[in-house]
């Protein structure tokens, strides 16, 4: 799957609307987890070098005010990794009057970066309202989607806007697509590890990979629901699914379960992991931590994703020990199950 790339555009002097996913945890008015933001910096810096006028668009659901101001402050702070070591230099434009915002954007200089307020403040965003999408598109000359992790949403800033502007995918979007596509034709033995809470979101992945993976481990809070499903009790591929040892309702993986996983990981050449093995939000993260360490030490190619999973790995400081770490949660699962997303189809 080859999509039009930001690498190939002539952006000098052009207003480039960049859809990013800066929906990250906020604590005391500050960015608490900057993983997603850092992964988008290569696209932002590339457009800056190309002389574009960069307008960043994102949604945010965390925090009392649900504002993108903390993200703008992070991007201009020394905490933000960039060549000048003082942040990438971003001006925050508050408010939701697009006419007023457009007048401010028209005064931008080449290489300048602004970030707009939460796009979900507009009712037309989640409704994918064509009138809103057209007005949003009027802020720019070119559109770049670098929000793979939000591209399972049929929203105006993901889907509708592409009807009105030349559209390209960002560097992070390309990396997500390239690496997740590997899962459809992986090296074998292939071990799939599914954890977390929402079994419904993982069911499509389970059905798809029953015919691709050699072994599938189902852990976390998924186990109780999975045991009730005919697909888990009598899988068509037969004998592929592995469950934790002991109480299926346990809040964390025990030592015996981790030994089972360790044996399978040692045999595997490719590992795909999404979702924690325990109730991490309430402190039951020991099993997930141990699993992360085991995979990190293995020789297998490894791809991981899901907010809770990545957060644990990030805290351990071992992100680079994995072949690829996805910024996506729901979008990753939908892409794995269906092979596409609304944000990908929008390029057609």
Q: Dump pLDDT digits (tens) for 55-86.
A: 999 999 987 779 999 999 999 887 777 655 55
Q: Quick one: average pLDDT of 4-8?
A: 97
Q: Which residue has the higher pLDDT, 86 or 39?
A: 39
Answer whether 143's CB lies under 8 Å from 165's CB.
yes
DSSP letter, residue 300: S
In this structure, are strands 215-218 and 190-194 parallel, antiparallel, or unpaired?
parallel
Whether the pLDDT of residue 236 is over 60: the answer is: no
Answer whether 292's CB lies under 8 Å from 219's CB.
no
Q: Which residue has the higher pLDDT, 290 or 282?
A: 290
Q: Quick one: average pLDDT of 229-242?
A: 68
Q: Quick one: average pLDDT of 10-34?
A: 94
Sorting pLDDT into bands at 50, 70 and 90, what band is 187? very high
pLDDT at 279: 86
pLDDT at 155: 98
Share of the chain above pLDDT 70, in %: 96
pLDDT at 161: 98
DSSP letter, residue 15: E
Both structure tokens of 200: 């419904």
How far, in Å, are 105, 144, 161, 221 from residue 199 at the CA level? 44, 33, 32, 8
Whether the pLDDT of residue 231 is over 80: the answer is: no
Q: Dump pLDDT digits (tens) for 121-180.
A: 999 999 999 999 999 999 999 999 999 999 999 999 999 999 999 999 999 999 999 999
Q: Quick one: average pLDDT of 228-257?
A: 80
Instruction: Please tell me the total number of residues recorded for the chain in this structure.
Output: 348
Both structure tokens of 343: 């944000």
* Cα–Cα distance for residue pair 113/289, rounded to 1 Å: 38
* Cα–Cα distance for residue pair 101/275, rounded to 1 Å: 40
Q: Quick one: average pLDDT of 95-106?
A: 95
pLDDT at 227: 78
Whether the pLDDT of residue 34 is over 80: the answer is: yes
Q: Quick one: average pLDDT of 234-255?
A: 81
Q: Quick one: average pLDDT of 304-311?
A: 91
Share of the chain above pLDDT 90, in %: 78
* Cα–Cα distance for residue pair 161/154, rounded to 1 Å: 11
pLDDT at 124: 97
Q: Dump pLDDT digits (tens) for 190-218.
A: 999 999 888 888 999 999 999 899 999 99
pLDDT at 197: 84
Range scoring the smallest mean pLDDT among 97-101, 132-136, 282-286: 282-286
Task: Please provide the average confidence, as pLDDT, over all residues in the chain.
Answer: 92
pLDDT at 233: 59
Range scoring the smallest mean pLDDT among 64-73, 284-293, 320-329: 64-73
* Cα–Cα distance for residue pair 91/112, rounded to 1 Å: 8
pLDDT at 96: 92
Sorting pLDDT into bands at 50, 70 and 90, what band is 4? very high
Sorting pLDDT into bands at 50, 70 and 90, what band is 238? low
pLDDT at 63: 73
Whether the pLDDT of residue 282 is over 90: the answer is: no
Q: Which domains does the chain have, with CATH numbers?
A: 6-174 (3.40.50.1260), 185-337 (3.40.50.1260)
């Amino acid at each position: 799957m080859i999509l039009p790339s930001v690498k190939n555009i002539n952006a000098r002097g052009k207003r480039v609307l960049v859809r990013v996913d800066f929906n990250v945890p906020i604590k005391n008015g500050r960015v608490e987890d900057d993983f997603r933001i850092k992964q988008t910096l290569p696209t932002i810096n590339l457009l800056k070098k190309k002389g574009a006028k960069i307008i960043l668009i994102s949604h945010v659901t965390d925090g009392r005010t649900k504002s993108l101001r903390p993200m703008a402050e992070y991007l201009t702070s020394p905490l933000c990794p960039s060549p000048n070591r003082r942040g990438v230099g971003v001006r925050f434009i508050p408010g939701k009057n697009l006419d007023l915002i457009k007048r401010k954007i028209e005064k931008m200089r080449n290489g300048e970066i602004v970030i707009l307020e939460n796009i979900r403040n507009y009712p037309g965003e989640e409704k994918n309202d064509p009138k809103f999408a057209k007005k949003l598109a009027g802020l720019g000359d070119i559109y770049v989607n670098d929000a793979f992790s939000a591209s399972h949403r049929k929203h105006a800033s993901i889907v509708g806007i592409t009807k009105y502007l030349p559209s390209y995918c960002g560097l992070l979007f390309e990396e997500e697509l390239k690496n997740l596509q590997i899962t459809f034709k992986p090296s074998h033995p292939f071990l799939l590890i599914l954890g977390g809470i929402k079994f419904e979101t993982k069911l499509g992945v389970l059905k798809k990979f029953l015919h691709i993976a050699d072994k599938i481990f189902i852990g976390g809070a998924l186990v109780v629901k999975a045991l009730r499903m005919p697909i888990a009790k009598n899988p068509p591929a037969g004998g592929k699914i592995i469950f934790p040892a002991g109480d299926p309702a346990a809040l964390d993986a025990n030592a015996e379960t981790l030994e089972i996983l360790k044996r399978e990981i040692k045999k595997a050449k490719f590992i795909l992991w999404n979702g924690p093995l325990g109730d991490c939000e309430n402190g039951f993260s020991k099993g997930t931590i141990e699993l992360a360490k085991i995979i990190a030490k293995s020789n297998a190619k490894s791809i991981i994703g899901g907010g809770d999973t990545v957060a644990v790995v990030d805290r351990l400081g071992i992100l680079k020990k994995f072949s690829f770490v996805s910024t996506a949660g729901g979008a990753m699962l939908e892409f794995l199950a269906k092979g596409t997303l609304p944000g990908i189809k929008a390029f057609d």
